[in-house]
Amino acid sequence: MNISQKVKQTLSRIKINKKDKVLVALSGGKDSTVVAYVLKKFGYNNLEAIHIDLKMGDYSEKCLNATKQLCKQLGIKLYVYDIRKEMGNSMCNIRLNVQSKKSLKNCAICGVIKKWILNKEARRLKADYIATGHHLDDETQTFMLNILKGSPELSNNTGLITRNLPDKKFIPRIKPLFFILEKDIKEYAIKNKLPVVYEKCPCAIDSYRIQIREFMRSLSDKQKENLMKNFMKIQGKIKKQDKTMNYCEICGEPARGKICKMCELVKK
């Protein structure tokens, strides 16, 4: 099965309607670029995109330009969230402030902040779904990471669609590339000459995920696919997380506890 067929199958499993409004979280990298490209190709015409401009110098500028070029090419509306304007600082400075109080890795902090922004903005833009570029390699890494951290139940929230708990303030996130290997996405992006920034984020250093990624490089494609298939088989059997969803006492966004993960990092 080629990449288009696999994505088509995944989309039919997610059961989104072509009329639903899908907001693609576009980073400028190959994965989310391919998501926007295939969704458009398959006739999802209620499609828009959002790019979070992290204001990390030259790298961010290249990412912003790539997303603008893609959206122009596909004829989709692009929203740019300027982190400096909206949150008062670049991602590097926000992260350094957090790290002066807490010992957390770069990617962990950036990930929490990006999710918070995406949910809030998707709600503001009245999107039915947020589509991200997560692929098979990302998902198997997350699964392994959760097991190695001793919290396999965290994987219960992941899957083709992340709904956490049905909640009016939480916009479900979908992953059209869930069953696609990273190397196939790269090949597809190159073949279709998509405007993509291939260099890695300069701040993605020293994360636990990178360690796992290195280890998982030793697995064959088949082994990665099997890992994911088996994960999906046992997923429902892992202890479920607490069923309640609250709203953060500081920012009002969905939260598991009294305060959301983002406010725990930034505002405390």
* Contact footprint for Zn ion (CB under 5 A): 248, 250-251, 253, 260, 263
Residue bearing tokens 């790269």: 186
Contact partner, 52, from ligand AMP, Zn ion, none, Cβ < 5-8 Å per class: ligand AMP
146 is an interface residue for ligand AMP by CB under 6 A: no
Indicate the residue among 147 and 251 with the shorter CB distance to Zn ion: 251
Contact partner, 140, from ligand AMP, Zn ion, none, Cβ < 5-8 Å per class: none
CA distance between the termini of the chain: 49
30 is an interface residue for ligand AMP by CB under 6 A: no
Out of 98, 133, 140, 172, name the contact with ligand AMP by CB under 6 A.
133
Dist. CA 120–CA 247, nearest whole Å = 13
Helix (H, G, I), strand (E, B) or coil at 224: helix
Dist. CA 246–CA 252, nearest whole Å = 9
Indicate the residue among 10 and 27 with the shorter CB distance to ligand AMP: 27
Residues 83-112 that bind ligand AMP (CB under 6 A): 111
Q: Residues near 22 by Cβ (< 8 Å), separated by ≥ 6?
A: 16, 39, 44, 46, 47, 48, 127, 128, 129, 130, 131, 174
Contact partner, 114, from ligand AMP, Zn ion, none, Cβ < 5-8 Å per class: ligand AMP
Helix intervals (H) in the chain: 3-14, 30-41, 57-74, 83-87, 91-99, 106-124, 136-148, 182-191, 208-216, 221-234, 261-266
* Residue 143 phi, psi dihedral angles, 5° rounding: -60, -50
Whether 135 and 177 have beta carbons less than 8 Å apart is answered as: yes
Residue bearing tokens 């709203």: 247
Indicate the residue among 196 and 260 with the shorter CB distance to Zn ion: 260
Shortest spacing between CB 244 and ligand AMP, in angstroms: 26
Indicate the residue among 173 and 248 with the shorter CB distance to ligand AMP: 173
Dist. CA 174–CA 163, nearest whole Å = 9
114 is an interface residue for ligand AMP by CB under 6 A: yes
Contact partner, 87, from ligand AMP, Zn ion, none, Cβ < 5-8 Å per class: none
Shortest spacing between CB 263 and Zn ion, in angstroms: 3
Q: Residues near 197 by Cβ (< 8 Å), separated by ≥ 6?
A: 28, 29, 59, 62, 63, 66
Contact range with ligand AMP by CB under 6 A, out of 24-32, 151-159, 180-188, 242-250: 24-32
- Calculate ∠ Cα 142-201-33, nearest 5°: 75
Contact pattern for ligand AMP over residues 51 through 80, marking x by CB under 6 A: xx-x--------------------------
Contact partner, 106, from ligand AMP, Zn ion, none, Cβ < 5-8 Å per class: none
Which residues sit at the interface with ligand AMP, rule CB under 6 A?
A: 25-27, 31-32, 50-52, 54, 111, 114, 132-134
